[in-house]
Amino acid sequence: MTDATKPEAADDIWHERAFDLTRGIAAYTGSPLIGGLARLVAEFPGADVANAFNHKQVACKMWARDELFANCGGRFGRVWVLGGWYGVLPAMLFEDPRFAVERIESIDIDPSVAEVALSLNRHWRERFQARIADMYALDYRGERPALVVNTSCEHIADLPAFLTLLPAGTQVLLQSNDYFSEPTHINCVPSLEAFEKQAALSSVAFAGALPMKKYTRFMLIGRI
C-alpha cells in the first residue's frame, strides 16, 4: 500500500465501521432516525454527518424540541425549518411521539443538502419536503406556515430586517449564540437579553440559555 492510498483506505474502513455501528444501533432501538443516519453514512460518504449529529448539535435540537412541546404543545400544521441542512431537527420531531406535525419543510440555499435530508427523513417522506430556496425569497405571507424555525440566527446579517418578512402573529422558534470567534458567525449576540432585544417579538412563550463548552446557545419561542 502506498502513502497515497492510505487516507482513502482509512476513510473506507471508517465508513464501513460507522455504517455497521449505526445500523446495529438502529436495529436495537428500532429508531427510523438512526436507521436514516446509517443510510447517510452508506449513501453519502462525503456528507458531514459526524458534525450534523455531534453531541452539541443534538443537545441544542433536543432543547428546542422539548421547550417547543412544553410551551406550545405538539400539534402543528405546516412547519418551515430554515437553514435546515441535513434535516436532523425534522427527523427528531417526526420520531417524537409527543408531536403530531402535518408537514415539515427543510429549507436551505445549498442544493447539495436536499438529497441528504430526503434520505434521512425517508421514513416520513409523505410529510417531509426538502426545498432549495433562499429564505429571503420565500412567500411567508402567502403560504403562511404555522411555525417558522431558525436555529442559526448568528448567520443572519440583519435579523430584525429578516423578521419583517414574516406576517404579524407568525409563531417562531429562534436560536443564536455568543460564539464570536467562529468566522462564519456574522451576527452573534452577547446575552439572552440582547437576543430578545434584537428579535423584538410581540410575545415570548420561552426565553432561555443553554451553556455549552465554548459558547452559550440562546433560544426564543414566541410570535412576530
| pTM beyond cutoff 0.75 | yes
pLDDT in tens, 94-123: 999 999 999 999 999 999 999 999 999 999
Q: Which domains does the chain have, with CATH numbers?
A: 6-49 (no CATH), 55-223 (3.40.50.150)
pLDDT in tens, 133-189: 999 999 999 999 999 999 999 999 999 999 999 999 999 999 999 999 889 999 999
The three-state DSSP-derived secondary structure of the chain is CCCCCHHHHHHHHHHHHHHHHHHHHHHHHCCHHHHHHHHHHHHCCCCCHHHHCCHHHHHHHHHHHHHHHHHHCCEEEEEEEECCCCCHHHHHHHHCCCCEEEEEEEEECCCCCHHHHHHHCHHHCCCEEEEECCHHHCCHHHHCCCEEEECCHHHCCCHHHHHCCCCCCCEEEEEEECCCCCCCCCCCCCCHHHHHHHHCCCEEEEEEEEECCCCEEEEEEEEC
